[in-house]
Amino acid sequence: MQNKPLILITNDDGITAPGLRALIRIMNKIGEVVVVAPDSPQSGMGHAITVDNVLTCNAITIDDGPQLEYTCSGTPADCVKMAVNEILNRKPDLCVSGINHGSNASISVIYSGTMSAAIEAGIEGIPAIGFSLLDFKWHADFKQSEEYIKKITLNALLNGIPEGVVLNVNIPKLKKEEIKGIKICRQANGVWKEIFDKRKNPMGKEYYWLSGEFINKDKGQDTDLFALESGYVSVVPVQFDMTAHHMIQKLNAWEL
């Protein structure tokens, strides 16, 4: 047991999400697993952390298995912080987040709680991967994901992930035999065009429902969106250093 890698698992869909349960089953075949996940769905939370309220974190048993599980009242990023500082007695060899119910390709990586948990692990110096399946259904079929998640995870443990880098993995909603393989990609240039559906409640007070559509502004054939549309699993190396290094020299030429 001591020779097995220690793997921290988290997500943003909550401790009972089928995607998380599937990821636990996969990781139990690879290493020693500890789960710290939100007690309720936290999709779209981005990298939010809890600073104006208390946090609770409790041991829980949901499925049979060797994994240790904890449920946290906070955000996905909170879950990683709690795991590193309060629960684990050593740094994990890997943190995996997901399997998310729905895409985190292109600009969605910015809003994603799934990816923010992985990024928080990366900030803590832990190699990390976020996994997403392009199926928003709660009872999505995650079977086609297992082979690719296992292959990417084993390669990450064997080869390492450079400090400051996190992997964003998206899996197309296809049958196993329809997936063509894995593509290493860049993040596509896309945006969400928001639509606010304005309504009134029975008391006459206005409220809004947020909806919208995704616009792909990128026609490149080396992007995550192109790979997914072509039937491939996309892997994008993401960095959390947000410095626009190419702009530094230009700014130095300003009269500041």
Q: Indicate the annotated binding residues for a divalent metal cation.
A: 12-13, 43, 100
Which residues sit in the known binding site? 12-13, 43, 100
- Look at residues 218, 49, 225, 221 and name the one whose alpha carbon lies nearest to residue 132: 225
DSSP E strands, the chain? 6-10, 32-38, 57-59, 68-72, 94-101, 128-133, 165-171, 181-184, 190-200, 206-216, 232-239
Q: How far apart are CA 96 and CA 88, in angstroms?
A: 15
Backbone angles phi, psi at 22, to 5 degrees: -65, -40
Q: How many CB atoms lie within 10 A of CB 157?
A: 16
The Cα 80–Cα 253 span in angstroms is 41
Task: Note whether 34 and 9 are within 8 A (CB).
Answer: yes
Dihedral angle computed from the Cα positions of residues 31, 138, 109 and 116, in that order, rounded to the nearest 10 degrees: -50
Question: If you count them, how many residues does the chain have?
Answer: 256
Tokens 């300003």, residue located: 254
